[in-house]
Amino acid sequence: MILFKDIIGQGETIRTLRGAIEAQRVAHAHIFSGPKGVGKMTTALAFARALLCLSPIEFDGCGKCNNCQRVELGSHPELMIIKPKGTSVKLLQIRDMSSGLQFGPKEGTWAVRIIDDADTMTPEAANSLLRILEEPLPGVVFILLTSRPQAVLPTVLSRCQQQHFQSLSRQQLIKLLEASNNYLPKDILKVSFLAGGSPGVAQALLEKDLLIRDQAISLTGSLAVASINEVLFLAEEYSSTKEGLLLISDMMILWFRDILLYNETGNASLLVNNDKSEEIKALTEFYSAGWLMTNIETLERAKSSLAASANIQLAAESLFLMLAGFDSVNNWQRG
């Protein structure tokens, strides 16, 4: 169970939230924005514990009372978490979430409603939420989580207190992973370079024994020699989940970055994938600096498009065709 006191790297946000509880001036709506995997949901749940706790300690949850335990188990009646159904948060979900709230919490002082990936709300859902936020409900706190605040309805944004979450430093990430006692020090050190300051990415890599990193490396090699039909097959294979494809894209960016960096400097100590230095050295003969830069830029742009895409496979096909050197079905520009 993670409480405010356990959260690393988001000190300003935690101080703001605890200060609001202490001053008894908790805003009725919040937006937690920032990269995926940096602790937005973890902090939202810690905030819920602090509000719902029966025996709070310094404006934080105690972690022991019945309410803290029910939040941990996801069984507290005054806590509801809404996630996208399919590719979006829908109108019926917002209506269900707000049902019965007009008179405030049924149990205790607070009710908490968390909307994950709030940027995926349909226009109808966003407008329904807006009507709720325009007339704050007594004792009800809404927390919207998003990695794309620019995609949230501006009028919804304007009615929320905004908190931006930063990526963790490498040292903060290492400290967080070491505290779990679940991973070997050598693996923690390795993923601390690969995770881009995201605990979520780091844990995904550790739990899969860096399989995702190795899949990304294999994929870059396959795309370099693939025909159009082979590219489309690979796109289908790698588009089972949006989160998985985004993680693969991050790993590919780091791989291309390492090849480019070694190509320019010849210094293996600068590599993120330093355990693959011999393989990277060999690949510098096959990839030009211009081609590598183009692919890194393509991947960075594609990540933003993919986050907003309703059709993961179509987005994967477009990305993989460009990475393979096809800017259209009839145009080849690899090399």
CATH of the domain at 229: 1.20.272.10
- Residue 328, pLDDT > 80, answer no
Locate 321 and state its tokens.
């065709």
pLDDT tens-digit series, residues 78-117: 999 999 988 899 999 999 998 888 878 988 899 999 999 9
Amino acid at 177: L
Please check whether residue 138 lies inside any domain of the structure: yes
Say whether both 26 and 139 belong to one domain.
Answer: yes
The closest alpha carbon to 245, from 296, 298, 168, 320, belongs to: 320
Contact 277, 268 (CB under 8 A): yes
- Residue 325, pLDDT > 80, answer yes
Contact 159, 177 (CB under 8 A): no
Please give the pLDDT value at position 234: 94
Say whether both 142 and 38 belong to one domain.
Answer: yes
Residue 28, helix vs strand vs coil:
coil
Say whether both 8 and 135 belong to one domain.
Answer: yes
Q: What percent of the chain has pLDDT over 70?
A: 96
Please check whether residue 97 lies inside any domain of the structure: yes
Say whether both 58 and 148 belong to one domain.
Answer: yes
Say whether both 157 and 275 belong to one domain.
Answer: no
The average pLDDT across 119-141 equals: 94
Please check whether residue 266 lies inside any domain of the structure: yes
Binned at pLDDT 50, 70 and 90, residue 327 comes out as low
Please check whether residue 316 lies inside any domain of the structure: yes
Say whether both 8 and 137 belong to one domain.
Answer: yes
- Residue 332, pLDDT > 70, answer no
Place of tokens 């289908």: 236
Last residue of a domain, one of 105, 140, 164: 164
The average pLDDT across 129-140 equals: 92
Please check whether residue 191 lies inside any domain of the structure: no
Q: What percent of the chain has pLDDT over 90?
A: 61
Please check whether residue 50 lies inside any domain of the structure: yes
Please check whether residue 179 lies inside any domain of the structure: no
Say whether both 136 and 238 belong to one domain.
Answer: no
Binned at pLDDT 50, 70 and 90, residue 180 comes out as confident
Say whether both 122 and 236 belong to one domain.
Answer: no
The residues near 240 (Cβ < 8 Å, ≥ 6 apart) are 312
Last residue of a domain, one of 146, 164, 182: 164
Domain CATH number, residue 24: 3.40.50.300
- Residue 181, pLDDT > 80, answer no
Q: Burial level of 183, CB count in 10 A (0-12/13-18/19+)?
A: middle
If you average pLDDT over every residue of the chain, what do you get? 90
CA distances from 258 to 170, 242, 292, 298 (A): 18, 25, 10, 16
The closest alpha carbon to 239, from 313, 141, 314, belongs to: 313
Work out the number of other CB atoms within 10 angstroms of the CB of residue 185. 10
Number of domains into which the chain is organized? 2
Please check whether residue 192 lies inside any domain of the structure: no
β partners of residue 12 = none
Range of the domain at 314: 210-326
Say whether both 147 and 260 belong to one domain.
Answer: no
CA distances from 96 to 80, 82, 114, 129, 157 (A): 10, 10, 13, 11, 21
Say whether both 138 and 49 belong to one domain.
Answer: yes
Last residue of a domain, one of 164, 189, 219: 164
Binned at pLDDT 50, 70 and 90, residue 329 comes out as very low
Say whether both 215 and 157 belong to one domain.
Answer: no
Say whether both 158 and 50 belong to one domain.
Answer: yes
Contact 190, 60 (CB under 8 A): no
